[in-house]
Structure 1
Amino acid sequence: MEISNKRVLITGGSSGIGLALAQALGAVGASIVISGRRPEALEQAVGHLSDAGVFAVSVVADVATEAGRNITVTRAVDALGGIDILVNNAGAVRAGRLEKTSEAEIRAMIEVDLIAPILLTRSALPILRRTGDALVINVASGIALIGMPFYTTYAAAEAGLSRFGEALRRELRDEGVRVMTVYPGATETPMMITSRAGPDLGFMREPASAVADAIAEGIRTDAFEVVRGGDSRAQMIALNRDDPEALDRRFAGMKQKLEDAVRDHTAL
């Protein structure tokens, strides 16, 4: 897909991967609408994009609510005249032991990470179909491919998003709307600020711009998935498939240290 002149809606676009992707796509001629819950952060992000010559508009809305999803789609269409690329990027996480995770935290992750993308995509599909060459991008997580201890609900929600994208890709084949799923590894974003897990625990962080550039390349090449993390992540994915007990033993050896490092990791 050619990115120039595409009309792009990015949820969770005020920072992190969402903002980096807005910069990457806007730099090559896309028009951008970013949505989020924080007015000041959105205003700052739009100012930054505009200073770089990107046409960008913001929508203050919570896509975990029906009203927020309706506002997001309506204002994006008003600003852009349509939507060619929908990026479901907004996310929420609360790490820690399952029995120490509240019901409210569990529901928040499922609402933001899984239900919101499904319902927002459903709302946007009639608009996407009008273009004849549209794309839905679901930004999931590497944890969707390898279940990490102390990320049980997050892993469930992200794996659900992954299978949603796969099923929808097949459902929409040859209908003018493609689907791509992105699996970032640990990324330098505000979402990761409260995590103390480092390279020794397998969390080798990369800049959000690197993930954004990989997504942009995936758009250009009509990829159906983008997996970050390099050879080490690919080896872990293969091991999880071929000998999952070996990975169980590896996690067991770092379990206490990992729990201590992520017990305060929250972004809800």
Structure 2
Amino acid sequence: MDLTDRHGVVTGAGSGIGRELAIALAGRGAHLLLVGRREPLLHETAAMVSAAGGTAHVLAADITTEDAPERIVTEARGRLGRIDLLVNNAGNVRAGRLEDVHVDDIRAMVELNLLAPILLTRAAIADLRAAADAGHTSIVLAISSGIALVSLPFYATYAATKTGIAAFGHALRRELHGTGVHVATAYPGATATEMMDSSLAGEDLGFGRRPVGEVVTDLLEALTRDEHEINTSLPTRRAMQQMHANDPLAVDAALAPRLPQLEAAVRNHRRI
């Protein structure tokens, strides 16, 4: 996979993985539309993209609104000329016992983590296929989560949305087989970004954080190897993922003694 001279959209580009991806792609000459809700942070990312050798345009938008998908695609098409890259990165989280999570937070996770990327991808499909037909292999990259590979307590809705977007990627990849559109899903574990700032869970509870730059480097290197499923989790989380694949009830037993500590550590984990 050639990642040079990409023309595309990055959602959630104001911080975290979205920002680091935009900067890394800029080093390969990317031309990007940066989308997010916080316009000042998007302009900061745009300046970093320019400094790294790319070009960037900013679109402040809530991607969960009804008109957002068409608006984003129309803006990208007009600004960039073609769309051969779509990074569905924007996401949110609210941890805690299901009965303690407000229904508004549940809806917010479903709308941003699952519904919005599906609808944005739908809106962009024609442009992505047109770019592929013109000789530019297109990429749809969704940022899921390691929690999609092993669902953890106190993250029931978040796990459902991230597992859902992973399943969406599998189905879409098969649907677009042979079209020149490469569909990939990334599964980052806990990453040192703003999204994790309100969580007190650390390595002892399986939430050891990786620097965001390392995660993005691994992700892009995997794309250059034409990988579709990209796991950037730490070894401790990978071991639990393997246990979950082989014997889910063994994960239940392993987590049970630490449930009170985990609940206390993530009770206030919210980024919505």
TM-score under structure 1 normalisation? 0.97
Q: Secondary structure at the match of 1:111?
A: helix
Residue in structure 1 matched with residue 179 of structure 2 by the alignment: 175
Aligned counterparts of 2:43 and 2:91: Cα–Cα separation in 1: 20
Alignment of 1:8-47 (within 5 A): 8-47=8-47
| Paired residues of 2:23 and 2:49 also in contact (CA < 8 A) | yes
CA contact (8 A) 1:140 1:182 kept: yes
Q: Contact between 2:76 and 2:83, CA under 8 Å: does it hold in 1?
A: yes
In 2: Cα distance, 1:176 partner to 1:148 partner: 35
1:252 to 248, 253, 256: 256
Q: Contact conserved, 1:61 with 1:69, CA < 8 A, in 2?
A: no
- 2:188 corresponds to: 184
**Matching residue of 1:62:** 62
Q: Displacement of 1:47 after TM fit?
A: 1.7
What CA distance in whole angstroms lies between the structure 2 residues aligned with 1:68 and 1:211? Answer: 28
Retained in 1: the 8 A contact 2:28–2:53? no
Letter in 2 for 1:192: M
Aligned equivalents of 1:239 and 1:250: distance in 2? 10
Q: Contact 2:219–2:232 at 8 Å: present in 1 too?
A: no
Deviation string 1:107-136 (CA, Å, 9 cap, x unpaired) is: 100000000010000000000001112111
Q: Please give the alpha-carbon distance, in whole angstroms, between the structure 2 residues aligned to 1:206 and 1:82.
A: 34
Is the Cα contact below 8 Å between 1:61 and 1:71 reproduced in 2? no
Q: Which amino acid aligns with 1:175?
A: T
SS in 1 for 2:147: helix
Q: How far 1:69 moved relative to its partner?
A: 2.1
CA offset digits 1:167-187 (Å, max 9, x no partner): 110111001211000000000
2:206 alignment counterpart: 202
> Where do 1:157-176 residues align within 5 Å?
157-176=161-180
Which consecutive unaligned segments of at least 5 residues does structure 1 have? none
CA contact (8 A) 1:182 1:225 kept: yes
Per the TM alignment, residue 225 of structure 1 is displaced from its structure 2 partner at its CA by: 1.0
Report the alpha carbon displacement of residue 75 of structure 1 after superposing the two structures with TM.
1.2
The answer on whether the counterparts of 1:62 and 1:69 sit within 8 Å (CA) in structure 2 is no
In structure 2, give the amino acid aligned to 1:98: L
Give, in whole Å, the separation in 2 of the partners of 1:86 and 1:218.
16
**Does 2:224 correspond to 1:220?**
yes
1:6-155 → structure 2 map (5 Å cutoff): 6-132=6-132, 133-155=137-159
Report Cα offsets for 1:194-251 as digits up to 9, x if no partner. 1111111011101111111122112211111110124333321121121211110111
Amino acid at match of 1:91: G
* RMSD of aligned residue pairs (Cα, Å): 1.1
CA distance in 1, matches of 2:156, 2:98: 7
Query: What letter is aligned with 1:259?
Result: E
CA distance, structure 2, for counterparts of residue 153 and residue 102 of structure 1: 11
Q: How many residues align?
A: 268
CA distance in 1: counterparts of 2:45 and 2:179, whole angstroms: 34
Q: Secondary structure at the match of 1:32?
A: strand
2: distance between equivalents of 1:62 and 1:26?
A: 24
After TM superposition, the structure 1 stretch with the greater mean CA deviation from structure 2, 155-164 or 63-72, is: 63-72
